[in-house]
Amino acid sequence: MKTPVQGFSKLSKTEKIDWIATNCTKDPKNTKRLLEQYWNANPKVQKLHDEFIENTISNYYLPFAIAPNFLINGDYLAIPMAIEESSVVAAASKAAKFWLERGGFKTEILGTEKVGQVHFIYKGDKEKLSGFFNFVKPELLKSVASITQNMEKRGGGINNIELRDLSGKIEGYHQLHCTFETLDAMGANFVNSCLEQFAKTLKEQALSFDPFTDEEKNIEIVMSILSNYVPNCLVKAEVSCSVSDLGNADMPPEKFAEKFIQAVNIAKVEPYRAVTHNKGIMNGIDAVVLATGNDFRAVEAGVHAYAAKEGQYSSLTHAKIEDGIFKFWIEVPLALGTVGGLTSLHPLVKLALEILQNPTAKELMQIVAVAGLAQNFAAVRSLVTTGIQKGHMKMHLLNMLNQMGATETEKQQLVTYFKDQTVTNASVKEALEKIKSE
Ligand code: MEV
């Protein structure tokens, strides 16, 4: 691309494709063919996807897979996952099966509070601001009545509005720190609409608050936005069994439990390890969050902030042995929705939710936490026993063979061959070349 393009969003889809193919790719004909190949055959479905975002030219596929056999609070669930990493679904399924035979996963909701803030600048007398806040709080609530009406009917709404003084950090900086219950909605639109109205009412009411001087009346709103840090929208998932039930072919169960707990404790005290440890957890969490049409960026941001809440980035999971019982659990903040957003629009999201038995947001929080815990269990189990590469490279074998241009017969032959061989890029290349030369 040598020059910027004017009015790209106004071009038709075909014109956009023409422009991108000719200006940004070496083989425009092939680019067009590829983009069209990934369109949905049903024009109605394609139009739906085109309209999710701006400037859509095709679809970007991710595998949509199932990790079956999760036993959660006594119920069986097959968990849909959307993810590109080859070993994730296999690892989740393996962990599900392992715990299926040991009582399954237990979960608990610890809170469902969402947060939003109006950030503003007020440099006047602080006592007057407190007085103003007490006066304006009922007005703030009244001003959003039309927005909160439906949510309140269903048992949700605004939990609290608090005035926070942060002028020690930035001159004049204050907040309305607001908390919400958004039930089955992730709640971003609800929260942001309430906040923007609070900001308007705050500003307007300050103008006619007599105790304020003219300068004090001029509260400056900086911004109004929900926070993706939701430490009180929290879920716990846990597995446990007696240490002797942790049967493992590679080492005695006591040794396995000890090494497993050591690995978790290392992730608790050592940020380099904690980041990778938690990344493994997010392999499970993001895959379900994505499959159910939720905002994985919001979840990621909130989860990592939570992992650093004590001032140092640390493990989201915990493990211990108590009276001969091995316990492994996760506590994780998850702001999720099962209504609104993409949930009723994206056909595969609808299907994912149906496969999960149309959960409430609270139920989905529990399922997602379980997926994270299962994933972490599988990863740490491999790490402290066989090492991660064995399973990972086995799962990656097909990707490698596809990349090397193996035929279906060659793939079949090599998958069988590598059942008891070490998979590396070099060993696969060599084996494929050998078959081809034969
Ligand atoms: C790979 O995607 C995730 C792991 O690195 C997680 C971990 O090390 O715990 C295997």
Å from CA of 317 to ligand 1 middle: 14
**Is residue 396 lining ligand 1, measured as CB closer than 6 Å?**
no
Cα(215) to ligand 1 centroid in Å equals: 56
Q: How many CB atoms lie within 10 A of CB 253?
A: 16
pLDDT for res 386:
85
Nearest CA to ligand 1 atom 9: 277
Listed by start position, the domains of the chain span 8-50, 64-109+235-386, 114-227, 392-437
Positions marked active-site: 85, 279, 295, 392
CB of 379 closer than 6 A to ligand 1? Answer: yes
Index of the ligand 1 atom closest to the CA of residue 280: 6
CATH class of 64-109+235-386: alpha beta
Per-residue pLDDT reduced to its tens digit, 188-207: 999 999 999 999 999 999 99
3-state secondary structure 16-72: HHHHHHHHHCCCHHHHHHHHHHCCCCCHHHHHHHHCCCCCCCCCCCCCEEEEEEEEE
Q: Which atom of ligand 1 is nearest to the CA of 277?
A: 9
Task: List, in order, residues 6 or more apart from 255 with CB less than 8 Å away.
Answer: none
CATH of domain 114-227: 3.30.70.420
Query: How remote is the CA of residue 276 from the centroid of ligand 1, in Å?
Result: 6
Ligand 1 centroid – CA 366 distance (Å):
22
Helix (H, G, I), strand (E, B) or coil at 236: strand
Residue located via tokens 């007490």: 134
Record the pTM.
Answer: 0.93
Evaluate whether 64-109+235-386 and 114-227 have a shared fold: no
The tens place of each residue's pLDDT in the chain, 438 residues long, gives 678 999 999 999 999 999 999 999 999 999 999 999 999 999 999 999 999 999 999 999 999 999 999 999 999 999 999 999 989 999 999 999 999 999 999 999 999 999 999 999 999 999 999 999 999 999 999 999 999 999 999 999 999 999 999 999 999 999 999 999 999 999 999 999 999 999 999 999 999 999 999 999 999 999 999 999 999 999 999 999 999 999 766 789 999 999 999 999 999 999 999 999 999 999 999 999 999 999 999 999 999 999 999 999 999 999 999 999 999 999 999 999 999 888 889 999 999 999 999 999 999 999 999 999 999 999 999 999 988 877 777 778 888 999 999 999 999 999 999 988 888 889 999 999 999 998
Give the phi and the psi of residue 162 in degrees, each rounded to 5: -125, 140
Over the stretch 91-131, which tens digit does the pLDDT of each residue have? 999 999 999 999 999 999 999 999 999 999 999 999 999 99
**Residue 145 contacts residue 119 (beta carbons within 8 Å):** no
